[in-house]
A and B are shown apart, each in its own frame.
Chain A
């Protein structure tokens, strides 16, 4: 059944069910009216905003902590916060605890690379990543109830771990 918006005559695209005082209340709103009511479909914040939020939050948290400085390039974390650019690859190690939190926010919860491994990285690394990638896919397939594919993946992982 198609609902019209509770407040105006436009088609409702936002449907809510609230339980208030043991009573079930259904709301059907168009997007504009929903926005007016302060109800929005959870939209993802752009990365630049996340970065900024994180930076501000981290600024509060770390204010009392001693500043961490990279011994390779001399970059400290406040400087990174200010410019958004790291100074050298070693910063990823040095700022790791703070970065991991930020990366998880910026990259949908992930803080571990599962993509391509460069040719010159050693074989063990390559294998670990391949297994990691298969595991992530396995997890997804199980959630999606794609059990046939999951079984194939599980075998692949076993084989790789054995070999």
Chain B
């Protein structure tokens, strides 16, 4: 059985740097929001009821048959650092990490499945996979939802579908998102136009860590906002058939154009970023993201050899604050973190 402490020693499935269209699509994520029938939503639950929900769902989830090697983390009892670690690995949301009532998460050994209990709704189920695998991710979450639906009744109405605490999730309760790496669109200044197109389609654009975060390092998370009046298949299809192919086409064309018209400019940015990561003595998490993003571009277009996408993805994660602290000892002082990060990156990138 896996434990929380084992996480930093393994690579999440979504970080493999593989999967279809991985030159642009880093990962695909689907989540379903569900609430137990006959129970109030969390804002109207007593502590006793909240504990009851955790117990009920934890038991049913861990009863078997849902997914292979699920392990459970009592988020309410976990340290702040462990909670942040889970956020950095996209296994729980920031909101889940920061609230203060009984709650938990069941995670599969390969980290593709995370079932959050008592987030905004009683249950938030997510499947996360590397590259463009929305259909596969949806099939899996749907299967889990069916299996769990055999054992518990979810709040549902004919008219409004699955009932959620916030009406913006009602209906399917489905949120589909893709994390895309769009460095060339950003460099060429076409990113705003592309993102505006997405907004016109009623899609939400967020940064790496979801809700309320800015896009850093040219990584954008695009997700649906409409959950009512469309079937799950239609919502997924909009992404697989329209949104992702469009972004893919734009980004690939922008990369080609940049290489054709400004190869020196592109190389300059890539190698400056690499040199900085190889020699800085202090570096923030944010700058690391940005520089690594350029390095990723360098790998895609075969300018940087001897480093692969998986290794770069690992650096993204291991250089994030909680991971850095976890790996280098819990007692690293906050103001020393940038120095520790720089040293770690220098070591990892020394042999290139």
What string of 1s and 0s marks CB contacts (under 8 Å) between B165-200 and chain A?
111101110100000000000000000010010011
Q: Are B167 and A99 in contact (CB under 8 A)?
A: yes
A125 at the interface (CB under 8 A from B): yes
Check: B347 CB closer than 8 A to any chain A CB.
Answer: no
The verdict on B157 contacting chain A, using a C-beta distance below 8 Å, is: yes
Contacts of A128 in B (CB 8 A): 158
Query: 8 Å CB contacts to B: which residues of A79-133?
Result: 83-89, 92-93, 99, 102-103, 106-121, 125, 128-129, 133
Q: Tell whether, in the assembled complex, residue B200 and residue A44 are in contact, meaning their CB atoms are under 8 Å apart.
A: yes
Complex CA distance for A158 and B74, rounded to whole angstroms: 51
**Interface stretch (choices B54-62, B146-154, B259-267, B298-306):** B146-154
B41 contacts the other chain (CB 8 A): yes
- Chain B, 139-162, CB within 8 A of any chain A CB: 142, 145-146, 149-150, 153-162
Residue-wise interface mask of B (286-305) relative to A, using a CB-CB cutoff of 8 A (1 in contact, 0 not): 00000000000000000000
Closest to B154 in A: A118
In the complex, chain A residues whose CB is within 8 Å of the CB of B41? 85-89
Which chain B positions have C-beta within 8 A of A118?
149, 153-154, 156, 162
Are A106 and B168 closer than 8 Å at their CB atoms? yes
Q: Number of residues in A with C-beta < 8 Å to the partner? A: 45
B280 within 8 A of A: no
Do A114 and B230 touch across chains, with their CB atoms under 8 A apart?
yes
Q: Report the minimum CB–CB distance from B233 to chain A (whole Å).
A: 8
In the assembled complex, A19 has its CB within 8 A of some CB on chain B: no
Verify A107–B228 contact, CB threshold 8 A.
yes
Are B226 and A107 interface neighbours, CB within 8 A? yes
Task: Pick the most buried of A74, A83, A84, A103: most chain B CB atoms within 10 A of its CB.
Answer: A103
Complex alpha-carbon distance, A107 and B228, angstroms: 6
B30 within 8 A of A: no
Any A CB within 8 A of the CB of B44: yes
Do the beta carbons of B153 and A113 come within 8 Å of each other? no
Per a CB cutoff under 8 Å, which of A46, A110, A117 touches B226? A110
Q: With A and B bound together, what is the CA distance between A89 and B37 in angstroms?
A: 8
| CB-based contact B196/A43 at 8 Å | yes
Asked if A142 is an interface residue, CB under 8 A from chain B, the answer is no
Tell yes or no: B229 within 8 A of A by CB.
yes
- Asked if A113 and B229 sit within 8 Å, CB to CB, the answer is yes
Q: Are A107 and B172 in contact (CB under 8 A)?
A: no
**Residue among B37, B39, B43, B196 with max Cβ neighbours from chain A (10 Å):** B43
Would you call A43 and B229 a contact (CB within 8 A)?
no
Q: Is the CB of B226 within 8 A of A113?
A: no
Q: Is the CB of A121 within 8 A of B44?
A: no
Say whether B40 faces chain A, with CB atoms less than 8 Å apart.
Answer: yes
**Which of B149, B157, B226, B232 contacts A92, CB < 8 Å?**
B157
Q: Hey, which chain B residues are within 8 Å of A107, CB to CB?
A: 171, 226-229
A102 to B167, CA, bound (A): 9
Of the candidates B40, B142, B170, B196, the one having the most CB atoms from chain A within 10 angstroms of its own CB is B40
The answer to the question of A16 belonging to the interface, with a C-beta cut-off of 8 Å to chain B, is no
Flag whether B163 is at the interface (Cβ < 8 A).
Answer: yes
Give the residues in chain A near B168, CB-CB below 8 Å.
47, 51, 106
Partner of A43, one of B146, B162, B163, B199: B199
Distance in angstroms from B201 CB to nearest chain A CB is: 8
B84 interface residue per 8 A CB criterion: no
Q: A89-B163, A116-B145 are in contact. List 9 more A-B contacts (CB 8 A).
A: A46-B204, A75-B44, A83-B43, A106-B225, A114-B231, A115-B231, A116-B172, A118-B153, A120-B149
- The interface of chain A, by Cβ under 8 A from chain B, is 31, 41-44, 46-47, 51, 72-75, 83-89, 92-93, 99, 102-103, 106-121, 125, 128-129, 133, 136
Query: Would you list 24 pairs from A and B whose C-beta atoms are within 8 A, ordered by A residue?
Result: A43-B199, A72-B40, A85-B41, A86-B166, A86-B167, A89-B157, A92-B163, A93-B157, A103-B160, A103-B170, A107-B227, A107-B229, A110-B171, A110-B226, A110-B230, A112-B228, A113-B157, A113-B158, A113-B160, A114-B231, A119-B146, A119-B149, A120-B153, A121-B158
Top 3 A-B residue pairs of the complex, sorted by shortest distance between their CB atoms: A110-B229, A113-B161, A87-B44
